[in-house]
Amino acid sequence: MSRMNILITGAGGFIGQALATALAAEGKATSLILTDVVEPAAPHSAQLTTRCVQGDLTSQKLCDSLLTRDLTHVFLLHGIMSGAAEANLELGIKVNMDATRTVLDTLRTVNPGVRVIFTSTTAVYGPPPSPGFSLTEANAPCPGSSYGAQKLISETLLNDYSRRGLLDGRIVRLPTVLVRPGKPTGAASSFASSIFREPLNGQKSTLPVCKDLSLWICSPRTIVKNLLHARDLPTKAYQGGSRVVNLPGVTVSIHEMLEALKAIGGQEAFDLVKEQRDAPTEKIVESWPAKYDTLKAKELGFTEDGTLEQTLKDYVEDYGTNKL
């Protein structure tokens, strides 16, 4: 493809900003549109033409202005995260379902066949059939949260539009992304970043779940690499089947995460994490399986993640701390 005109929704978020920065550094894109409910920041690039737009994607008028025939790739990253979607059902439906459908329906009309990369979540699964069970894309989803249900509905729609040739979808189910910089988010998994980010900056953090719980996690660097890989995969790679891929990650327990914090930040950082169980958060996190067989992702060439210790070192290198 000689030109790449790319749109990123939810571009003001952490992954959206990291992806925009990677696209600017890569040098393949001709133009880039970034949109979110708050106007996103543009990456530094003298070569890349970038337009930043504030707006609500449930607005047909906004979609008509953004979703034009010249787009070659659309990254759908917008969303209300798990904890917030559980607390406010109507808002979750509006953002995670209605806005996504508005975008997809506009694209299939204005720009049929355009490549759409949709970030879904492993929260589409409910609890595993048995402890330690490794899930694959062949296991039937049964969400244990409204967020997972809303993402699954959008997955199904994009899969069907791809089956019909209306769009060229790539659906990637993200592990919990660790470590996210900035402030805590509305995600139930937000604590997983907070128990590293805040202590490494000399601030207290709260652990709302049991230390025995495990999470399926992935580093930001690997997530961005895999989003770019999803963009570049030829359509024939999916062999006419489902466009869903569970992205690679690693399984870690909360106890292992705290030990990694101690190894990187010392006892002082470790002591800043205080246990304060929160039943609603724990219920959501407990419903997420922590082990996956990602053979499909590996066969398609997606990048595997490194160790938790390396992820923390990368975070410190990329974003720094006030303590190290």
Tokens (6 digits) for 152:
């699954």
**DSSP code for 41:** P
Residue 114: name the closest of 62, 146, 157, 161 by CA: 161
Q: Quick one: CA dihedral 5, 10, 12, 13, positive or negative?
A: negative
- How far CA 111 is from CA of 114, 162, 168, 227, 243, in Å, comes to 6, 13, 11, 21, 19
Catalytic residue among 147, 161, 292, 315: 147
Go through 100-127 and write b for each residue having 16 or more CB atoms within 10 A of its CB, e for each that does not: bbbbbbbbbeebeebbbbbbbbbbbbbe
- Note if 147 is an active site residue: yes
Which element (helix H / strand E) includes 252? strand 250-253
Active site residues: 147
